[in-house]
Amino acid sequence: MQVVKRKSMALTTILAFLIMGVGHIYLGRVKRGFVIFVIGFVASIVLSAMSGMILPQGETGPLTDDTVVLGIFLCLVVVMLGLFAWQIADAREQCRRYNDSLV
């Protein structure tokens, strides 16, 4: 008989907080965790690139209307924070379900 260990809720939460998707991977939900990781990674790159497009007053850059860029940037930040919070909550829920299935 094979003994299956319960997964740690604390470790799941910490991993999900440190790197998006890793909490899911720890739980064995590799495909879901990888998708979350890639989405978070790509969003981080886009946000980093866009932050370089927001220029101080009076300077010129690749985009002339900084208000539009700033608006898009702020919307992406809100979406990214929402995704970050969701993936932590989802990893915790997946951990609870995993542990409940062992009983």
pTM exceeds cut of 0.85: no
pLDDT at residue 94, rounded to an integer: 97
pLDDT at residue 66, rounded to an integer: 67
pLDDT (tens digit per residue) in 8-45: 999 999 999 999 999 999 999 999 999 999 999 999 89
pLDDT (tens digit per residue) in 59-81: 555 555 667 777 888 898 999 99
CA distance 17 to 6: 20
Token output for 49 = 């690139």
Among 23, 21, 20, smallest CA distance to 9 is for: 23
Among 18, 17, 14, 29, smallest CA distance to 97 is for: 29
pLDDT at residue 103, rounded to an integer: 74
Q: Exposed, middle or buried by CB within 10 Å (0-12, 13-18, 19+), for 93?
A: exposed
Domain residue limits, the chain: 9-101
